[in-house]
A and B are shown apart, each in its own frame.
Chain A
Amino acid sequence: MARGHHDIGGLPGAGAIDQSEHLLSDWEILADAVNQALGARGVKRTDEMRRAREEMDSAAYRDMTYYERWIASIEAILIEKKILTKEEIDRKLAEFEAKWGEP
C-alpha cells in the first residue's frame, strides 16, 4: 500500500491554489443535483463516493476536474450497486453524442 492519489496534504510541488471565483457550467450544477438526489434517496453515501474516487486509476484521477471526479464516482457506485450497467451508460452517452455532438 502507499499514499493514495487523493491524500496529498503537505506534499511539495502541488503549486499554488487557484482561488479565483468562476461560474459553474450547467453540467457541473447537474452533477451536484444528481449527487444530492441519489443521496436523498439513500442510494449512496458520501463515504462511498470518496472511496470510489480513491479507487480510480491515478492518472485518470489527476486528469479530471473536480466535478468530472464526482460524475466518475457516481457512475462507479451505480454500476457497483447494479443500478445501471456500463453498457446502459455508454449507450445513453452515444445517444446524446449523436444528438448534440461530442463534448
Chain B
Amino acid sequence: MNSPSKFKPGDRVTVKFEDRPGHLRTPWYIRGKSGWIERVYGEFRNPESLAFGRDGLPKKTLYLVAFNQNNVWGRTAGPKDKVLVDIYEHWLVSSAEERNES
C-alpha cells in the first residue's frame, strides 16, 4: 500500500491533545505542542492496534517531528535546542489548518 504522506519536511504541524483509553504512542509532554516535520520515515503498522493483538492495518505514516525546546518545557532553553519525537500521522494536524478552524 503506497498512500502518499500528508506532510512533507518543513511543514508546520500541531500534535493533537487526545486522551483516550488504549495504548497511545504519543508521549504526554508533546501533546498539544507545535513543531515541524523533520523527516518522513514511511508507513508502518499502527502500534496502537498491534498492542491489542490486532493486525495494525491500515498502515500509518510515521514522521520525525521537531519542536523548539522552549515551546515544550515552558522554560528557557538554548534557542537552537530541539526535541525530536517520532509521531504517527493520525496524531498530527497542519498548523495552518488549525488556525483556519479556530
Residues on A lying within 8 angstroms of B by beta carbon are 1-4, 7, 9-10, 45, 47-48, 50-51, 54, 81
Contacts and interface: CB of A to CB of B under 8 A. Distances in A.
A50 B73 contact: no
Interface residues on B, range: 10 to 19
A50 B72 contact: no
Nearest to B85: A9
B20 A50 contact: no
Interface of A is mostly: loop
B77 interface: no
Given A1-B19, A47-B47, A9 B29 contact: yes
B50 A10 contact: no
Given A9-B28, A45-B50, A51 B73 contact: no
A51 B52 contact: yes
B28 A81 contact: no
Contact of B73 (A2, A3, A10, A81): A10
B27 interface: yes
B35 to A, nearest CB: 15
Given A9-B29, A10-B72, A81 B19 contact: no
Contacts of A50: 23, 47, 51
B90 to A, nearest CB: 15
A2 B31 CA distance: 13
B21 interface: yes
Contacts of A45: 50-51, 53
A48 B50 CA distance: 7
24 contacts: A1-B19, A1-B20, A1-B21, A2-B19, A4-B28, A7-B27, A7-B28, A10-B29, A10-B72, A10-B73, A45-B50, A45-B51, A47-B23, A47-B47, A47-B48, A48-B50, A48-B51, A48-B52, A48-B53, A51-B22, A51-B23, A51-B51, A51-B52, A81-B53
